[in-house]
Structure 1
Amino acid sequence: MLHVLYLVHDVSDPAVRRRLTMLRTGGARVTLVGFRRTATPIADIEGLRPVDLGVTRDGRFAQRLAAVAKAAISIGSKLKDTPRPDLIIARNLEMLALARRARSVFGAMVPIVYECLDIHRLVLRDDVLGKALRATERHLARDVKLLVTSSPAFIANYFKPFRQVAAPVELVENKYFEAAAILPGEPEAMEGPATPPWRIGWFGALRCRRSLELLADFTRRMDGRFEAVLRGRPALSEFPDFHAFVDAEPYLSFRGPYRNPEDMAAIYQDVHFSWAIDFFEEGQNSEWLLPNRLYEGCRFGAVPISMGHTETGRFLNEQDIGVLLPEASSDALETALGKMEEHRFGRLKARVLACNPRTWSYDRSDCRALVEKLRRLTTVREPLAAEALA
């Protein structure tokens, strides 16, 4: 069985849980090591107790650098009881910095995979800091065996033109994970609200003040015909007044965190539309990403709203689904949605439901294929394969 040492920047991130589930479903054994953004250590994730590297703060770059430096010193003692892994996956640049140190603990040339699912604005700067960070990334990634990323635009706009990583690239989209096999056939019926008020769901990492203000202005303009429902983890480092802002808006509501995948069907079937827009790093990462909420919302029949010029917009245009805005304004939203009626919404939703389910989801076979690709980077042989060669 392939043993993966998974180094992560935030063990409390729901996306870490999803990747952990994929790896284990695919047949890998995982040791999870990482920082956290919670006050106390995480005791259990999917039955695993993470190796705790301490606390880092969202948006605090200097603090995170100091935490990585401290962890580089202590990681030997943290991993002293961990069996030698067959493979190390480093999620994000700061964990790639720790991967070599972790590898040295085991005294063997364990292959390293670099998983990069966001391109931070700091590495795109054209000043001394940006150039230094890109040079650091190139140095740390000089012998990684595989780059895992989630959007073709990350490759086209960053990794390829800047020549950051020479390794082969594996595109693993931010799809929803299905425990059962995904079979072709008739689209399943998706129950949900059929009549106004029309509800827009903005779920996940809530970090974009411009989206918040745009939804507030649009719903007020529509005078109750539209509501916006927010769920997930607000980035209070970006808008410390988040809760007060939402409470003061008549047609916005924040309904707290949710469990993924347990709550996904219920939360998306409670809304008509899914907000798949992010201006947090406008013109850069936000324009290039294909977010989790895109796949999750479409999987459960919510009609996505996106900007037409982004990678998400191009993706939706190819599928011929969704509502694409030409500009980020309440006027554009009103033009696109303001006269929404039941027959039109029914057609929009039917297009989403008519898509191949594999567009939005991975199943167990995809997990096995991913783990097999990782296994081929190592010298590990599965028992059946070894017997066949004997």
Structure 2
Amino acid sequence: MAHVLYLVHDLSDPAVRRRLIMLTRGGATVGLAGFSRAKIPGEIEGIKPVNLGRTADGRFVQRTWAVLKAMARLRSVLAGLSKPDVIVARNLETLALANRANGYFGGSVPIVYECLDIHRLLIGMGPVARSMRLAERWFGRNVSAIVTSSPAFKSNYFDVLSFLKIPVMLVENKVVAAMDDGLLPAPQKREDRPWRIGWFGALRCRKSLKLLAHFSRMANGRFEIILRGRPAYSEFDDFDAFVANEPFMRFYGPYRNPEDLGAIYGEVDFAWTADCFEEGHNSKWLLPNRLYEGCLHGAVPIAVQGTETAEALRRNNIGLILSDATSFALSMAMEGLDVRRVRYLKSAVAACDRRNWAIDEADCKSLVAWLAGLAPAGPRKTSDHFPISSSFAI
């Protein structure tokens, strides 16, 4: 049985829990340590985490200081843990910890760099961006492989900008569904309610919030905007007050993934999958969780032209692709909307292969087997092939 030490940037991030489900379902035993940006439970998926300290969104200097303090006491943190077969470091800030942990265990443990977002400070040719990429190369000097969630991250960053020249593994943000979960029938719109657009997950995009609010006002009650998840309050002037002042917008707080997905997506007709948080870079390249969550549960996805998400919709011949990220473009896409058209759009989503959106037990086992088979970084043949299922294509 593979033993994975998982070092994470935010223990309270729901995506961390999803990865733990995937690893344990694949047969791994997991040691968990990381920082937190909110209160965390005593256990996550039956694993007691080691909390390395609090960090905050958007506070780069504070997070750097937290990493330095964690490095100073990492030896005592790891004292009770057995040597892992592999160390997975989620995000750049944990790579320094991964190297220190590997040294504690003798220096022979392979390290995997899990990078699911490309931070804006890493992009560009200026001195700050180059310095950040040099730091990434230094902290990644012992990394055996990179795990990322979108092919556009590989082609636009790791292949052309990053100084790390090691194999890149694609593990999309697919839903790790419950064992007995099946596709739910797409609910029909009731005549007594407006059409609903759901924006769920990490709510961090000011442009999306204002765009959806303006669109709903223009539609004068024909559409409702339903928000669920975790707002990045540092990115908004006053998220709660803004939503409270919008007549056709509602925020219902966080949700559990995957337990609540069927219920919450069953209450909406469309899923807002666009993201303009780092427009032109990370937001253009990512494939967000909400794409997979919504499509798996029958919601019609909405994306913006020129993004990797729009390309995913085009490949599957589903959803609505806006010409640009404006309320006018959204209004044009919704023009003439009726029950018959929505039924057609939903049927196209329902016809997609479930494996496009969900990870099964075989996928979990393949990922764990690949992790367990990694050799420590060093002189080796570089290959772009990994002997695992097509759900984890390079």
TM-score range normalised by the length of the shorter chain? over 0.9
- What letter matches 2:37 in structure 1? R
* 1:15 is aligned to 2:15: yes
Deviations 1:93-144 (A, max 9, x none): 0011211011112224111011000000011143221111101112222331
Report the number of matched residues: 375
- What letter matches 2:178 in structure 1? A
Determine if contact 2:184/2:297 at 8 Å carries over to the other structure: no
The answer for the alignment partner of 1:376 in structure 2 is: 373
The answer for the alignment partner of 2:325 in structure 1 is: 328
**1:247 aligned residue (244, 248, 262):** 244
Map 1:303-322 to 2 at 5 A. 303-322=300-319
Map 1:130-209 to 2 at 5 A. 130-180=129-179, 189-195=185-191, 196-209=193-206
TM-score of the pair, normalised by structure 2 = 0.92
Determine if contact 2:270/2:299 at 8 Å carries over to the other structure: yes
Deviations 1:260-303 (A, max 9, x none): 11101000010000000110000000000000000000000000
Distance in 2 (alpha carbons) for counterparts of 1:150 and 1:93? 15
Map 1:199-238 to 2 at 5 A. 199-238=196-235
TM-score of the pair, normalised by structure 1 = 0.93
Distance in 2 (alpha carbons) for counterparts of 1:148 and 1:284? 18
Question: Identity of counterpart residues, as a percentage?
Answer: 55
Deviations 1:195-220 (A, max 9, x none): 45000000000000110000010000
* 1:301 is aligned to 2:263: no
Distance in 1 (alpha carbons) for counterparts of 2:237 and 2:36? 20
Distance in 2 (alpha carbons) for counterparts of 1:21 and 1:169? 22
- What letter matches 1:210 in structure 2? K
Gaps of 5+ in 2: 377-394
The answer for the alignment partner of 2:82 in structure 1 is: 83
Note the C-alpha offset of 1:164: 2.9
Q: Matched residue of 2:279: which SS?
A: coil
Determine if contact 1:226/1:251 at 8 Å carries over to the other structure: yes
Note the C-alpha offset of 1:329: 1.6
Note the C-alpha offset of 1:165: 2.2
Note the C-alpha offset of 1:181: 7.7
- What letter matches 1:20 in structure 2? L
The answer for the alignment partner of 2:389 in structure 1 is: none
Note the C-alpha offset of 1:163: 4.2
Gaps of 5+ in 1: 380-390
Note the C-alpha offset of 1:188: 5.3
Distance in 1 (alpha carbons) for counterparts of 2:328 and 2:40? 46
- What letter matches 1:282 in structure 2? E
Determine if contact 2:99/2:142 at 8 Å carries over to the other structure: no
- What letter matches 2:187 in structure 1? E
* 1:338 is aligned to 2:335: yes
Determine if contact 1:142/1:166 at 8 Å carries over to the other structure: no
CA RMSD, Structure 1 to Structure 2 (Å): 1.5
Determine if contact 2:133/2:162 at 8 Å carries over to the other structure: no
Q: Matched residue of 2:325: which SS?
A: coil
- What letter matches 1:112 in structure 2? I
Distance in 2 (alpha carbons) for counterparts of 1:136 and 1:14? 27
Distance in 2 (alpha carbons) for counterparts of 1:280 and 1:151? 17
Determine if contact 1:4/1:87 at 8 Å carries over to the other structure: yes
